[in-house]
A and B are shown apart, each in its own frame.
Chain A
Amino acid sequence: MFYFADFGHNKKRSFVHDSDAIIVGSGPAGLSAAWPLVEAGLKVLMIDAGSGDAPFSDFPSGDIGKFRLRASNWKTRYGTDLSLLGLQGDYSPKLMTPLAEMVTGKFAELNGLRAQGFVPIGSMGSGGLSNIWGALSVVFNDADLSEFPFDRAELDKHYANIIRRIGLSFGGTIAGTNTDPATPLGRAAEKVFSIHAKIPLDKDFVLERASNAVITQDRGDRSACKNCGLCLWGCSHRSIYNSVFELKELRQYPNFDFQPFTKAIKLGSNENLNFVEARGPAQSRIFSAPIIILAAGTIATTSLVARKIGYLGRPIRLLSNPAAAIAFVIPRLIGSDLPDHSFSLGQLTYEMPASTSSCFGVIYGADTLPLDIFASRIPLSRPTALRLSRALAPALLLATCYVPGKFSANRLYVSASDETPNVLIDGNQTASAKREIFSAGRSLSSKMRRRGAFALPGSLTISAPGTDGHYAGTLPMGGKGDLATSLYGELNASKGIYIADGASFSSLPAKHCTLTIMANADRIGRHLISKIAMRAQTKRNLSV
Chain B
Amino acid sequence: MKKYPIEHVIVTGGTGYIGRRFVKAALISGCKVTLLSRGREFCVHQNLKYVAWSLGESLPGEAIDTDIDPLAQAVVHLAHDWKNQSGAGKTEGGLNIDGTRALVEQARHSGLGRFVFASSQSARADAPNVYGRVKWAIEQLLDRPNEVSARIGLVYGGPQQAMYGLLSKLSGISPILPMVDPRRPVQPIYIDELAEGLLRLTSSDHVEWVGLASAKSIRFGDFLRTLARELHGTRLLIIPIPIQLALCACDLTAVIPFIPTVDRERVLGLAGTQLMPCADHLTTLGLEIEDCESRLAFEPSARRTLLLEGRILLKYVMKAWPAHSLLRLYVRSLYVKGIRQAIAMPRSVRLLPSLLRWMEPFDQKAALSRRLAIAVAIAQSSPQGELILSRKNVLARNVAVFLGVSVDTLALPIRVLFRRFWS
Contact = CB atoms under 8 A, between A and B. Distances in A.
A377 to B, nearest CB: 9
B378 interface: yes
Contacts of A387: 389, 397, 400-401, 404
Nearest to A85: B333
A388 to B, nearest CB: 5
A391 B395 CA distance: 11
Contact of A383 (B317, B373, B377, B387): B317
Is the contact region of chain B dominated by helix, strand, or loop, or is it mixed? Answer: helix
Interface stretch (A66-74, A195-203, A425-433): A66-74
A156 interface: no
Contacts of B364: 88, 376
Contacts of A70: 383
Nearest to B371: A86
Interface residues on B, range: 35 or more
B387 A372 contact: no
Contacts of B372: 382
A116 interface: no
A78 B360 CA distance: 25
Given A380-B404, A386-B380, A391-B401, A335 B394 contact: yes
B373 A88 contact: yes
Contact of B405 (A71, A375, A380): A380
Given A372-B380, A383-B357, A391-B398, A86 B374 contact: yes
Given A77-B381, A82-B336, A387-B401, A376 B394 contact: no
A380 to B, nearest CB: 4
A65 B370 CA distance: 28
A382 B376 contact: yes
Interface in B355-371: 356-357, 360, 362, 364, 370
B389 A69 contact: no
A34 B226 CA distance: 65
A336 interface: yes
B237 to A, nearest CB: 26
A73 B381 contact: yes
Contacts of B389: 371, 386-387, 390
A335 B329 CA distance: 29
A372 B386 contact: no
Contacts of A73: 381
Contacts of A371: 376, 380, 389
B254 interface: no
Contact of A78 (B362, B381, B400, B401): B381
Nearest to A385: B376
Nearest to A338: B390
B332 interface: yes
A68 B386 CA distance: 7
A71 B382 contact: yes
Contacts of B108: none
Contacts of A86: 333, 337, 370, 373-374, 377
Given A383-B319, A384-B404, A82 B382 contact: no
Contacts of B337: 86
Contacts, number: 114
By CB atoms of chain A within 10 A, which of B316, B325, B357, B389 has the most?
A: B389
Contacts of B383: 68-71
Nearest to A336: B394
A39 interface: no
Nearest to B326: A74
A381 B408 contact: yes
Given A86-B373, A383-B404, A386-B317, A391 B397 contact: yes
Nearest to B386: A68
Contacts of A382: 316-317, 360, 372-373, 375-376
A230 to B, nearest CB: 14
B379 interface: yes
Interface string A310-342: 000000000000000000000000111110000
B411 interface: yes
A370 interface: yes
A109 interface: no
A337 B336 contact: no
A85 B394 contact: no
A87 B101 CA distance: 63
Nearest to B392: A337
A271 interface: no
Contact of B373 (A337, A372, A391): A372
Interface in B310-336: 316-319, 325, 329, 332-333, 336
A380 B378 contact: no
A255 to B, nearest CB: 48
A67 to B, nearest CB: 10
12 contacts: A69-B386, A69-B387, A74-B378, A74-B381, A77-B381, A335-B398, A371-B380, A376-B364, A383-B354, A383-B404, A384-B408, A388-B404
Given A334-B398, A391-B401, 9 more contacts: A68-B383, A71-B382, A74-B378, A337-B394, A371-B389, A376-B376, A384-B407, A386-B389, A388-B404
Interface of A: 68-71, 73-74, 77-78, 81-83, 85-86, 88, 334-338, 370-372, 375-376, 379-388, 390-391
Top 3 closest pairs, chain A to chain B, by CB: A384-B404, A335-B398, A86-B374
